[in-house]
Amino acid sequence: MGTVSLVGAAFGILPSRHLVYSCTRNDNASNWRLLQHRPVIFSGTCAGKRKFLYNGPRGNKSKIVVLANADDSDDYADDEDALSSDGTELVEARKALSEARSGQHATQKERDHLVEELAQSKAKQEEDVANILREKDSAVGELQDAKSVLHQKLKESVEEKFALESKLVLAKQDALELAVQVEKLAEIAFQQATSHILDNAQRRVSAAETSAADAAFKIEEQIRTATEGTISSIIEQSKDAISRALDVAQKAGDHAARAVQVFTDGVGAVDEIASIKSDNIRLEGTVNDLESQLLLRKSEFEMLKVELEQVQKQAQASELRANELEKALFEFQESNKKQTVQKEDEINSFMEKLKEEAEERKEAASKVFKAELESIKSAIEAAEEAARSRDNAYKRRCEALERSLIASEAASKTWRQRAEIAESLILKEDEDEDAIYVNNGGRIDILIDDDSQKWKLLSDGPRREIPQWMARRIKTILPKFPPRRADVLEAPISKFKHLDLPKPDEVWSIAQEKPKVGDTLIEHVIEKETIEKKRKALERVLQRKTSQWQKTPVEKKLESGTGTGREIVFQGFNWESWRRKWYQELAPKAADLSKSGITAVWFPPPTQSVAPQGYMPSDLYNLNSAYGSVEDLKFCIEEMHSQDLLALGDVVLNHRCAEKQSPNGIWNIFGGKLAWGPEAIVCDDPHFEGRGNPSSGDIFHAAPNVDHSQEFVRKDIREWLNWLKSDIGFDGWRLDFVRGFSGTYVKEYIESSNPAFSIGEYWDSLAYEHGSLCYNQDAHRQRIINWINATGGTSSAFDVTTKGILHSALHNEYWRLIDPHGRPTGVMGWWPSRAVTFLENHDTGSTQGHWPFPRDKLAQGHAYILTHPGTPVVFYDHFYDFGMHDIITELIEARRRAGIHCRSTVKIFHANNEGYAALIGDTLVMKLGHLDWNPSKENNLEGSWQKFVDKGCDYQVWIRQ
């Protein structure tokens, strides 16, 4: 391979004119010929776009070198005189050529080293760029993760805030309930203490009055008896003495008359006189005796007087004592009144102290709660600030990485520029190809073709071993370049500017360097850790305090007809559920149902049945049905219990399908454990020849109707229900077709099995007139009420009346939702605690569609039943298949927050064609329809109300703050 050296250009001795040399080298490379050619024109003003032309065939293998002066722009001309014919110039040229060759070898080594460094630097730069991009992507990913974690924490903080607010509301309610209970207890204690004291005082006064009256009566009785006895004895004695004296006087008169007669007659006058004298003496003695007795009686009378005076004195003393007792009683009453007033004052003061203490505790609790809320807010703000700081740090880091990337790209551009310059020095042709060198202001540019493979090598880097032909071509680069002068024309269009950029190693170290103490990033990290520690400490303190504020769990009082009074039932199947292993599909939904606010799940009929839906039962103790095996049923019930959900079994007690035929071909012989015969079937069932008593209800013609008047039948049913409850795990019942037998039997079954909740399906037709629903449906709901009364109130019943009225009322006939007495229509308005409200079930909806609820009014219907008293039932299809999961969950949450239960009161404000508005309980207000109304427009509705649900013209719900 031949090499041409420009001696004049190397030593700067070329003339100012343009010279053209044609050099032909023989095999010995020693003979040079000067050939004169036609002018060859080169444009040396633009280094980026150099073009050349030359004349003459390429077959002569000659190399043409054009030496151009940058300061001279005239046309090229032939100048043969410029070369001396003297051979001295040739010798000098050969000498310069040998020197140039020796310098070329040194330059070639330096060029090889430069190219190798260039390739390594390019590869390293590309690797650095890739690493920086990966680091940037990872930083962006970390930033997104941090943002998602922050949003999650903020969401949790908001949820904690709502939970704390609900706990504060509960605490306030507990405080109010405690204050009310304390007032009631104080009033009861005061009444008991006062009544006890008054009763004692009254008893003492009455006892004193009784004793005083008894003493006075006894004294008066003694005086009366003593006086009457003494006087009567004196009178009797006086009468006796007088009568005796009269007898003696009469006798004396008789003697005197006889004496006079004798005297006159002259017969024994002296004797008569003597006898008279003796009689007078005796009479005088008798008179003396009478006088002495009279004196004795007088003395006794005096003594009685003295005793009477003493008795009177005693009576007076007793009277004085009675007066003293009355006075003492009066004083006692006065003192008792004073003590009572004092105790009332003490109790009032005690109550005031309790109220003050309750207020203080409430204020303290609210202050603590507010402080903790503030601390939580500050923690959240600090967390947000930390997140923002971290975001800023990530942004700064990303910016640094971007700057590093830009610097790397700039460096790569610089190296690419150098590579372009180096590439321009590489000749593409082989040994016999021409190389054209252009001198541009003291700098030599090597022209190469556009399809050079060196650009690909320098762009892609040394990915593989350099081939030999490439190594040979690299060696063709000229030696060290002289420094290039700044070209004024090139400066404005130059794409590369000098930047004070870090080296690639420094860029890599910035991207990978860990934070150090004192750096901004590490300060934010430390601040974040400190805030996180404070937040966790606040959470622990708050958890300890809220655990103290939690209400003491009260044992739930279950009532067979209403459960806890706050039940929300979920019908966990539809008419087509039997087609799948339903128990296995229903069990995983327990957690979601409990989280949504459901409290009880209504299971399909569990027994073996002639019809797959379960409503034609045969063997009651065989629970392997189309819905699944008995093991699947037990597992599903356990899943419900693990989420605190009641399991309600759908039991069919009205009828039962026989397994065998009688000798005359009638299906009335039952099988299984309860092997009944025709005596268990009512006699007025026309198809099954029952030998029991007449039915106590309507006849279900598709299967034998069970005679519940038979003792053995009731005994077997009671045992079966208790077996379902104890062995299988059911908590309550849904009773199918209860119109077929009397409610008194239902009462017996419920009292025996003691369910937590029970619902009776008393289905009856509403009243219609000319195809339209009548406004007055009192007869319909009265029939349902009568059945509930027959059960003794032990069971609830489906409020079919409310369902039927809602079908028409929600079509701008909201006036149907209020009865003439201002109460809700349906069973809800008369006996809300026993009303089970619903919109659809497996009979009315699903694939049967006997009485489907208007699809476009489902949201309004749920808003009505879930905010009103009674026990609402949510249908499976609505909750999971109709896309109403979130709507129903939101309404259940409103019901829970407002504390609505089955006995809540309803005050209806408006019910007309435009809409419906009502206050339920004391804490919830709801509106249906286009009615322009809100709580602030109601004069009799006080308090602050917060809108909880807003569905526009469909419904709106407010909750008292």
Q: Which residues are catalytic, by number?
A: 736, 761
CA distance 364 to 463: 75
Distances from the Cα of 804 to the Cα of 79, 843, 903, angstroms: 120, 14, 22
Pairing relation of β-strands 906-911 and 915-920? antiparallel
CA distance 504 to 129: 9
| The one-letter amino acid at 734 | R
Distances from the Cα of 284 to the Cα of 279, 281, 293, 374, 498, angstroms: 8, 5, 14, 128, 183
Nearest to 896 by CA among 564, 628, 417, 494: 564
CA distance 733 to 747: 13
CA distance 731 to 786: 25
Measured from the Cβ of residue 85, the count of other Cβ atoms closer than 10 Å reads 9
CA distance 783 to 33: 134
Q: 3-class DSSP state for residue 462?
A: coil
8 A C-beta contact, residue 547 and residue 578: no
DSSP 628: B
8 A C-beta contact, residue 645 and residue 601: yes
Q: 3-class DSSP state for residue 956?
A: strand
Which residues neighbour 852 within 8 Å (Cβ) at sequence distance 6 or greater? Answer: 840, 844, 845
What angle, 0 to 180 degrees and rounded to 10, lies between the N-to-C axes of helices 520-549 and 88-265?
Answer: 10
Burial bucket for residue 252 (CB in 10 Å: 0-12, 13-18, 19+): middle
Nearest to 898 by CA among 169, 162, 365: 169
Nearest to 793 by CA among 821, 827, 819: 827
Can you tell me which residue has the tokens 């809700």? 824
Q: What's the farthest any 2 CA atoms get from each other in the chain?
A: 257
Q: 3-class DSSP state for residue 226?
A: helix
Distances from the Cα of 771 to the Cα of 268, 648, 767, 781, 924, angstroms: 144, 37, 10, 20, 36
What angle, 0 to 180 degrees and rounded to 10, lies between the N-to-C axes of helices 778-790 and 743-753?
Answer: 50
H helix or E strand, kind and range, residue 443: strand 443-446
H helix or E strand, kind and range, residue 660: strand 660-661
Measured from the Cβ of residue 684, the count of other Cβ atoms closer than 10 Å reads 13
CA distance 198 to 631: 68
Nearest to 918 by CA among 806, 835, 910: 910
